[in-house]
A and B are shown apart, each in its own frame.
Chain A
Amino acid sequence: MNSKIQHSIDLITVLTQKEMKVRYKSTFFGYLWSVAYPLAFALVFFIAFKVIMRIQIENYALFLITGLFPWQWFANSVNASPTVFLGNVSIIKKIDFPRNSLLIATVLQDAIHFVLSIPVIVLFLFLHDQTPSISWLYGIPILMGIQFLLTYSLSLMISSINLFFRDLERLTLIFTTFLFYFTPIIYPESMIPERYKILFSITPLSPLMVSWRHLFLDGTLNPIFLIVSFGYSVLLFIIGSLVYRKLSWKFAEVL
């Protein structure tokens, strides 16, 4: 049994390393790109909302990146998910191994890039005369656990269905764009008008993204948000696993 667990760990490690190596193959700046993207977005939103539209939020730059970095992890994984199985045809058609390990590797790889981007948040905190809180020590692992489960489950569902319904790839892009603007990432949850508050509670990512920002900015964790976002991830995990189990045996045939 023990060697079975060891093998699963090795399988995921090897596939994650592969993803890391392949992702920035032959680029000079390598991992810096995974920080450069959200920073570039932050700059765009900063100009649009702070400079031009004069949004009334203190330290808006800091506010933006505390939401954009975790979002980037989610969005990268989910947007990549439709092609995860398609991009590994040669393995899937030739070898019998747990196919979901490919997705675990993809999401894990983006998670690692997210962790590597946390120092940038710290840097921004220092620039605003603030310091990281001690609660990060348990807060970051908890939120990462929830986000991993949520992202993995959603990606598993999308990548599995996409093999049978290739249009999903386009729909996913639209879906993540909607989700981005309906989730309080570039604006605080307090700015949502009263009668649209319902939107906040039904977008599955809201409690999680808001939790990230509160953790990074004031070192607090709201237990209700934690429970709700954990609930969403478990629900998605159940649905994702059911879909995967129903479809996975056919993967090699439709690829």
Chain B
Amino acid sequence: MNEPAILFDRVSKSYHLYHPMTGGIKSFLFHLPEAVKTLKNSRYEVLREVTFQVSKGESLGIIGRNGVGKSTLLGLIAGIIKPTKGKITVQGRIAPLLELGGGFHPELTGRENIVMKGVLLGLTKNEVFQKMDEIIEFSELGDFIDQPIRIYSSGMLARLGFSVVANLDPEILLIDEILAVGDTNFQKKCLDKMVAFKKSGVTMVFVSHSMGDIISICDRVVWLDHHVVKMIGEPKRVIENYLKS
């Protein structure tokens, strides 16, 4: 094993539930003692003592039921949210692909959005401009690239999103169930690109419900269940157990 790109050391994450405050001041004041108590204690635990590591160049799949904390895990890696307990170490530039059209503005054109997202992800404008043609070509959006993206279909948004992130030389790529939207053609293109990334040594963390995609890309798989890592290891074996459960 070479050095780790991502290291989770007994990481726990719980969220406050904010309902007492959102109930408004009236209900808050009328039920003050209970409200304060719930405010203090109403935490929802998403991840408990999660420990794993991803080596440089490795592809890790994450599977589990809905709401089990897969996206929280990606958010933690991306540095968007902080763990409640434990320590996370990440080495390398992260390119998160967490949502369709995430980080895009509907009124801007595809081209303008590419620049904005690229810069938000940590590149300078010049670096983005250098990649511009590559990105546009990969997206196959043609003339639509100069149209505001609010007129894009969800498939087109997926194309734009993946093209930007995939062509900005990421060192760590986080992908959250994104390939399900594009047409088969583009899905295949994305998978090919991911295989190419794998060959060139990009570290990937890949959340998906498509076991086929997981098997074809990932070296190892983490199965999250009831806030903890239920199983970690070779994809086929983990998936077999997951499907049986």
On A, residues with C-beta under 8 Å from B are: 3, 6-7, 10-11, 13-15, 17-18, 21-22, 25, 90-97, 164-165, 167, 249, 252-254
Contact = CB atoms under 8 A, between A and B. Distances in A.
Given A14-B116, A253-B81, 14 more contacts: A11-B119, A17-B112, A18-B112, A21-B108, A90-B102, A90-B104, A91-B120, A92-B80, A94-B103, A95-B103, A95-B120, A249-B81, A252-B80, A253-B15
A14 B80 contact: no
Given A22-B108, A252-B81, A97 B102 contact: no
Contacts of A14: 115-116, 119-120, 125
Interface string B30-62: 000000000000000000000000000000000
Interface string B89-112: 000001010110111110110001
Contact of B80 (A6, A11, A95): A95
Interface residues of B, number: 33
Given A21-B108, A90-B101, A249-B82, A95 B121 contact: yes
Nearest to A13: B125
Contact of A93 (B80, B122, B123, B124): B80
B175 to A, nearest CB: 12
B79 A96 contact: yes
Given A21-B108, A95-B78, A7 B119 contact: yes
B4 interface: no
- Which of A6, A22, A91, A165 has the most C-beta atoms of chain B within 10 angstroms of its own C-beta? A91
A21 to B, nearest CB: 6
B87 to A, nearest CB: 15
B106 to A, nearest CB: 9
A21 B107 contact: yes
Contacts of A3: 124
B102 A11 contact: no
A7 B122 contact: yes
B96 A95 contact: yes
Contacts, number: 79
A14 B120 CA distance: 9
A18 B116 contact: yes
Contacts of A167: 25
A90 B99 contact: yes
B174 to A, nearest CB: 10
Nearest to B105: A18
Contacts of B82: 249
Nearest to A22: B107
A25 B112 CA distance: 14
20 contacts: A7-B119, A7-B122, A10-B124, A14-B119, A22-B107, A22-B108, A90-B101, A90-B102, A91-B103, A94-B78, A94-B80, A94-B99, A95-B120, A95-B121, A96-B78, A97-B122, A249-B81, A252-B80, A252-B81, A253-B16
B75 interface: yes
B164 to A, nearest CB: 11
Nearest to A89: B102
Given A14-B115, A253-B15, A94 B98 contact: yes
